[in-house]
Amino acid sequence: MKNSLILHHYDLSPYAEKIRLMFGLTGTRWHSLLSPDKPPRPNIDPLSGGYRRIPVAQFGADIFCDTTLIAREVADITGNPALDPRTADAEAAGLMARAEKEIFFAAITAVPPLRLLGTMMGMFGPIGTYRFAKDRMSLLKGGTVRPPQGGGAKATLESFLDDMETTLAQRPWVGGDAASVADFAAYHPLWLYTAMNRRQFDSGPNVKTWYQHVADIGHGEREEIDQAQAFAAARDSEPRAVPASIKDTPIEVGASVKVGPSDYGTVPITGTLAAVTEDRIIVTRDTSDFGKLNVHFPRAGYSLNKA
């Protein structure tokens, strides 16, 4: 267990769907630990230090935050470089960036309000809907994201679908001749929109065909585990060796720091700065229950400050 990948997620998480499809593409056997859809999350908070967003990946005593970084880890362990976002060409990278920011939020705000409310009521009930909506509104506090609203959200989504149709008229997958991380990044907000709207988006034939092909990939070999097993994996492991830091780190290695997203869900975690590479921040947390844990973040989109 301690050498296996554990994904802390919930089934309706669109960002988790992006990672689950990577497991499907590679036929990966992975461990699933279902997490609440909003904090507190007792299965992962003690490990990550309270990282606000989901999913989170775990390899023993190493915790990986943000699907950009998780995708890189999956690419490494499966030997599939096409799952590393850094390998995408300029066109695919542009669509990925739009999908994971403005389109993700437009996929929610483009749904007619009464239909969205009805969907959430069916999922969570009246009290659960209120709590879920309140939690999601709190995600934006202190961040840089400003979701499009109403007609603007619909126009944003339609523009993205038009550009996707143009791309997919030239090649079968967003990234080229084979499925890659670009497809899963572009797919996940459309998957969210379809779930919340209870009907599929209006698009051209190429997008519809591609969407079904992505859905057919599946999730690989999923095995459910419990919180005790994930905690044991952390407790019985040592963090892997940290890479060398860049020459001029913004804060000296060994300092007490706070790290958190800049765009939304900005709650920081605290710990000791273990390394800063060109694209990664690693923070060590000394815990009484698990010993040392290393928590990994991408540098892009994250703030690093002294605690």
- Is the same domain home to 191 and 126? yes
- Do 185 and 75 have their domain in common? no
Residues of the domain holding 293: 5-82+222-306
CA 246 to CA 287: how far, in whole Å? 27
**The pLDDT of residue 1 is above 70:** no
Residue 155 has pLDDT above 90, yes or no: yes
CB 96 within 8 A of CB 185: yes
Q: What percent of the chain has pLDDT over 90?
A: 95
pTM above 0.85, yes or no: yes
Q: Starting from the edge strand earliest in sequence, which strands make up the sheet with 221-224, in order? A: 221-224, 29-34, 5-9, 56-59, 62-65, 291-298, 280-287, 269-276, 256-261, 302-306
Q: Are residues 101 and 209 in the same domain?
A: yes
Are residues 106 and 201 both part of a single domain? yes
Last residue of a domain, one of 198, 215, 232: 215
| Separation of alpha carbons 108 and 100, rounded Å | 13
1, 61 Cβ separation under 8 angstroms: no
205 and 98 housed in the same domain? yes
What is the per-residue pLDDT for 4?
84
In this structure, the answer to whether residues 28 and 115 fall within a common structural domain is: no
CATH number at residue 71: 3.40.30.110
Asked if pLDDT for residue 5 goes beyond 70, the answer is: yes
> What pLDDT is stored for residue 2 in this prediction?
60
* 65-119 residue pLDDT tens: 999 999 999 999 999 999 999 999 999 999 999 999 999 999 999 999 999 999 9
- Out of 180, 196, 215, pick the residue that ends a domain: 215
Q: How many domains does the chain have?
A: 2
Pick the last residue of a domain from 215, 244, 267.
215
- pLDDT tens for each residue of 174-187: 999 999 999 999 99
Residue 66 and residue 117 in one domain: no
Asked if residue 81 has a cis previous peptide bond (ω within 30° of 0), the answer is no
Q: In Å, how far from its chain's centre is CA 118?
A: 26
105 lies in the same domain as 174: yes
Q: Do 126 and 166 belong together in one domain?
A: yes
Same domain, 78 and 227: yes
Could you tell me which of 214, 233, 257 has the C-alpha nearest to residue 5? 233
Q: Clarify whether residues 92 and 206 are in a common domain.
A: yes
CATH number reported for the structural domain that contains residue 92 in this entry: 1.20.1050.10
Is 65 found in the same domain as 156?
Answer: no
